[in-house]
Amino acid sequence: MGGFEFLSPFVLAALVVLPAIWWLLKLTPPRPRREVFPPLAILLRLAKRDETPARSPWWLTLLRMALATLVILAIANPVINPDRTEIASSGPLALLVDNGWASAEDWAAITDAADALIEAAGRADQPVVLAFTAETAGDPRPVSATEARQRLAAAEPQPARPDRLPAATALVDALDGTAPGTIAFLADGLGEPDDTAALEMLNGAGAGDVLLMTADHTAPAAITAVDNGATASRITAVRAETGPADQLTINAYDLQGRVIAASPLVFETGATTATTEIRAPFEVRNDFARVAIDGAANAGAVHLLDDGFQRRRVALVSGSPANEAQPLLSAAYYLRQALAPYANLISSDAATLPEQLDALIEQKPSVVILSDVGTLSEETHTLLEQWVEGGGTLIRFAGPRLASSEGDDTLLPVRLRSGARAFGGAMSWNEPQNLAPFPAESPFYGLPVPDDITVSRQVLAEPAPTLADHTWASLADGTPLVTENTLGDGRLVLFHTSADPNWSNLPISGYFVEMLRRIVNLSQASVAADGNGGSAQLLPPYRLLVANGTLSANVSGANPLAGDGGPQIATAENPPGLYGSSDGFTAVNLFGPQDTLSPLNTAALGEGSRFQTIGDAHAFSLKPWLLAAAMILLIADGVIMLAMNGAFSSLKTRRAALPLILAASLAAALPFAPGLAGKAHAQMGDTEIADLLYETHLAYVVTGEEEVDRISERGLKGLSDYISYRTALEPGDPVGIDPAEDELAFFPLIYWPISASAPMPSQEAIAGIEAYMRNGGTVLFDTRDQYSPLGQSAVSANTARLRAILDNIDVPPLEPVPEGHVLTRAFYLLSDFPGRYDGSPLWVEARSGATSDMVTSGGDGVSPIIITGNDFAGAWATNADMTPMLPTVPENPRQRQFAYRSGVNIVMYMLTGNYKADQVHVPALLERLGQ
């Protein structure tokens, strides 16, 4: 099916006016005249042929009419669209559109497809009912095509999973019993739990035509869990299709949006789940703010992290000495087993506590655990009290020593009775006690109440009116098992039973691990919130995740979050994002550890449904081809006129001219025919050449290593943006080049990141670089290893590779940039040239004299080669949101600023030559002119 932009007037002119002109020409009597084709008038004069036939031959007139017809049709712009979507000719159009997280990357194609359907309804004067599956509130009702297009233009993808059943129900209800002509469902390709009911509802609406449209590529993957282990962070991701093996990259970002760690994620053939680990010191992993799939732009590919993700440093102090021969008899053994999966432990014992407490506190633990430590010395008590008041969390476990201690201890959350209470002993009528349900204000709230955990011995709290307010867990008889209280900015927690199985079987259960984990996680989260220590507080939305996977400060539409201490999964009231404040927040993610992805099950739509791929129906314009054909006929007409005027007087001349005529025709048609021009210029088309001549572009050598090339491209992009902001120069986007194939003369500077793991450059590439340098270009070699590439006895692998490359190039003598060199004052005044690292000198061509700024080669005093090891591109590289990609070493914003200034000086040095050096001769020139 096709279409014309201006069909009627031009087709009428072509079909009516031109035949009339032809008929008039046939009736016109012959008269002597010159048949002049204006573009060839000069050629006709050279041919000295003054007389031509009085009337053009019929076939020449027909050729000119065909030429005019082609031009008219080209102006009408006929469009061919063989897959153009059609709808039923009667009844309203019901349109259901997925706008959840998986549609974010295809949103432009989805809206184009929906717009085409609405346009077809508008041509048929049919109303449109439009509904979206990820909107929390909507009002689908029959509207005109114009209003439906306005609603579609205002809609946006949401960072939520689509809820298709309510949307389908609202869509059918809006029809109010009217049978729609076409029901179209634009789906993201992923399945949801209520899909069968939703599709059956659509199929049962009585539509004469049911259309399902999905994207033509594999559905995106999603991250479901990130666990911070003892030695690595473990990331789990899922996908819907059980297809071939696929490899993705997982990036870990800090709060500033910088990539600080990465790891490959591999889906095996047929697998829908993949896991990977990022191994790094826990101090580095504690800086992780989010984990995302590289290159993905959707909310499912991002997993936000909060304080609960960070591994705490826990100091463990045992009141009894360690029993290495029988570790199961030691309480410290059970505490280590419970804490090791999610905390870093520092061990000590009570006998050495007074001497080691300062050292323990200097290591800044989040939690200190005292296991059956009774009376504390005054010095130890004072130090621990100050530490807790400063924000620390002290967890204590009961035992024989604590039960026998006397006096008021301010490091206990409640006052204790002297001695211990026993259950089930020979002298006791009571049975061991089970746990009671956890109160709503407890961090343990939400855990199922275990029926197999019993307590046979405990220390009792003195009755008090506020005892229940400080109780997190209690036994079935109402006596406290875990109590807490605040001290300054910190917290005191007491388990009224021991940390070994002598008093309870709690330490050998999984609940012991979970209870400790929640308390340890509260060691920072409670302080970062509002300081009242509760987990049931309401946290306001702080930053929300948008559909493309970025955080936004627009928090409208989100309700405050009631945290319960566990993993938070997004809901309609609490979309994914960060809840709290800049001092501390809780992360809410789109997917949880138990979530999976599956493809959309379309069986419920029925056999009569139509299926179409979104994006297949691309409009194809015939305008360029018609113009190309018109140009060929125009050249043919000119050649015929030359022949009729005797320009080709002999057969030999005609045969020799025939190839030239054909070549000229083809060359003239190339600019109008898409696809042909690219074949004529395999390496670089005319458009690219014009762009390179119009703008200044920095170039980098493509190494073949994806990460290295990505950093080079983003680095030169960041430098180009900085140059545009700080100077009058406005460079274009950087260009990746292959020195063996591409023309290098367009680029004033080529950045070459050296990588020992990349293939060795070919001789053609080295020869191309050498010719470029010899003709005035400059190559900036960067070994990115912070080592000087020259004059070292022990060199890195990258430096060794650079030496192997330079062995095949005629390199001039080099020296570190001397004091007073043009590079030190080309734009900024600089004394050194740092990049991501700061330690490698910048090597340039040696000057010919000790006091001369002129180098030995040509190029207006510009060194053809510059060498560094400071990783310039790593310092210049920025993300799409203009945040730095990589941290400087050491972390120093001022170093990055000087790295940009170094780049500006280098570029200005390349473009302006030694004009700064020429200024030193101005006084001598003025003096000579004065003479």
Q: Is 86 part of a structural domain of the chain? A: no
**Least confident range of 160-164, 356-360, 503-507:** 356-360
Residue 622 reports pLDDT greater than 50: yes
Q: Do 487 and 500 belong to one domain?
A: yes
From 476, 494, 528, give the residue that closes a domain: 528
CA distance 654 to 643: 9
Please report the pLDDT score of residue 868 as a whole number. 93
Shared domain for 135 and 151, answered yes or no, is yes
Q: Residue 916 pLDDT > 70, yes or no?
A: no
| Predicted pLDDT at 420 | 67
Task: Please give the residue that has the higher pLDDT: either 376 or 687.
Answer: 376
Tell me the β-bridge partners of 222: 238
Q: Which residue has the tokens 């007491």?
A: 494
Q: Whole-angstrom distance between the N-terminal and C-terminal Cα of the chain? A: 85
Tokens of 745: 């003369």
Same domain, 669 and 703: no
The dihedral built from the CA positions of residue 672, 678, 683 and 688, taken in this order, carries a sign that is positive
Q: Which one has a higher pLDDT value, 9 or 63?
A: 63
**For tokens 């943006």, what's the residue?**
721
One domain for residues 586 and 635: no
Domain end, chosen from 634, 649, 678, is at 678
Q: Is 791 left (phi over 0), alpha (psi -120 to 50) or beta?
A: left
Q: What is the pLDDT of residues 557-591, one digit of tens each?
A: 888 887 654 568 888 889 999 988 876 788 999 99
User: Is the predicted pLDDT of residue 231 greater than 60, yes or no?
Assistant: yes
Q: How many domains does the chain have?
A: 5
908 and 766 in a common domain: yes
| Residue 925 forms part of a structural domain | no
Using an 8 Å Cβ cutoff, are 203 and 606 in contact?
yes
Q: Residue 415 in 3-state DSSP? A: coil
CA distance 652 to 610: 63
* pLDDT over threshold 80, residue 638: yes
C-alpha of 916 from chain center: 42
Q: Answer whether residue 403 shows pLDDT above 80.
A: yes
The answer to whether position 696 is within a domain reads yes
Q: Higher confidence at residue 893 or residue 328? A: 893
Reply yes or no on whether the pLDDT at 176 is more than 60. Answer: yes
Q: Is residue 458 part of a domain?
A: yes
CB < 8 Å & 24+ apart, contacts of 473-477? 473/435, 473/436, 473/438, 473/442, 473/444, 473/515, 474/435, 474/436, 475/433, 475/434, 475/435, 475/436, 476/433, 476/434, 476/435, 476/436, 477/433
CA distance 92 to 88: 9
Token readout for 672 is 């109008």
pLDDT at residue 784 is higher than 60: yes
Of residues 565 and 346, which shows the higher confidence score?
346
Q: In which band, very low, low, confident or very high, does the pLDDT at 919 lie, cut at 50, 70 and 90?
A: low
Per-residue pLDDT averaged across 598-611, rounded?
82
Lowest mean pLDDT among 70-84, 454-468, 731-745, 772-786: 70-84
> Is 273's pLDDT higher than 80?
yes
Mean pLDDT of 107-120: 89
Based on its alpha-carbon atoms, the radius of gyration of the chain, rounded to whole angstroms, reads: 39
Q: What is the mean pLDDT of the chain?
A: 79
Note whether residue 783 is domain-resident: yes
Mean pLDDT of 856-876: 81
pLDDT surpassing 60 at residue 704: yes
Q: CATH number of the domain that 827 lies in?
A: 3.40.50.12140
Q: Are 425 and 396 in contact (CB under 8 A)?
A: no
Same domain, 171 and 255: no
Element (H, E) at 578: strand 577-581
- Shared domain check, 585 and 564: yes
Do 775 and 878 lie in one domain? The reply is: yes
In the structure, what pLDDT confidence band is assigned to residue 127 with cuts at 50, 70 and 90? very high
Q: What does the buried/exposed string (b/e) look like for 377-398 if buried means 16 or more CB atoms within 10 Å of the residue's CB? A: eeebeebbbebbeebbbbbbbb
The confidence score (pLDDT) of residue 875 equals 93
Checking phi first, is residue 871 left (phi over 0); if not, alpha (psi -120 to 50) or beta? Answer: left
pLDDT confidence tier of residue 796, bands split at 50, 70 and 90: confident
pLDDT surpassing 50 at residue 32: no
Q: What is the pLDDT of residue 893?
A: 84
Q: Residue 586: which of 601, 596, 576 has the closest Cα?
A: 576
Residues 6+ apart with CB under 8 A from 628: 669, 670, 672, 673
Task: Check residue 534 and give its pLDDT.
Answer: 38
Q: Looking at residue 323, what is its pLDDT? A: 54
Cα 924 from chain centre: 58
Determine contact, residues 784/874, Cβ cutoff 8 Å.
yes
Stretch 356-375: mean pLDDT, rounded? 82
> The domain spanning residue 359 has which CATH number?
3.40.50.880
Q: Which run of H or of E encompasses 246?
A: strand 246-253
Residue 31 predicted with pLDDT over 50: no
- Shared domain for 252 and 382, answered yes or no, is no
**What is the distance between the alpha carbons of residues 292 and 303, in angstroms, rounded to a whole number?**
6
User: If pLDDT is split at 50, 70 and 90, which confidence band does 361 have?
Assistant: confident
Tokens of 118: 């609405």
What is the per-residue pLDDT for 326? 62
Residue 444's pLDDT is 87
Q: What is the largest CA-CA distance in the chain?
A: 141
Answer yes or no: is 523 within a domain.
yes
Q: Are residues 664 and 774 in the same domain?
A: no
The answer to which of 539-553, 660-674, 770-784 has the lowest mean pLDDT is 660-674
Residues whose CB falls within 8 Å of the CB of residue 849, separated by 6 or more in sequence, listed in order: none
| pLDDT of 58 strictly over 50 | yes
Q: Is residue 88 part of a domain?
A: no
- Is there a contact between 293 and 347 (Cβ–Cβ < 8 Å)? no
- How far apart CA 365 and CA 173 sit, in angstroms, is 60
Examine the pLDDT at 277 and tell me if it is beyond 90.
yes
- With cut-offs at 50, 70 and 90, classify the pLDDT of residue 788: very low
Kindly tell me if the per-residue pLDDT of 410 is higher than 60: yes
Residue type, 876: W
**Lowest-confidence range among 178-182, 410-414, 531-535, 746-750?**
531-535
Specify whether 784 is located in the same domain as 905: yes
**pLDDT tens sequence across 232-248:** 889 999 999 888 999 99
Whether 789 has a pLDDT exceeding 60, the answer reads no
Can you give the pLDDT at residue 20?
A: 55
Residues 172, 176, 177, 182, Cα dihedral to 10°: -50
Mean pLDDT: which of 340-344, 514-518, 614-618 is highest?
514-518
Q: What is the pLDDT of residues 7-23, one digit of tens each?
A: 444 454 455 555 555 55
Confidence of residue 603 (pLDDT cuts 50, 70, 90): confident
Q: Which of 483, 509, 528 is the last residue of a domain?
A: 528
Q: Work out the percent of the chain whose per-residue pLDDT is above 90.
A: 27
User: Domain residues for 708?
Assistant: 687-919
- 931 within domain boundaries: no
Same domain for 125 and 211, yes or no, is yes
33-42, 80-89, 94-103, 649-658: which is most confident? 94-103
Whether the predicted pLDDT of 424 surpasses 60: no
Cα–Cα distance between 599 and 241 in angstroms, integer?
A: 7
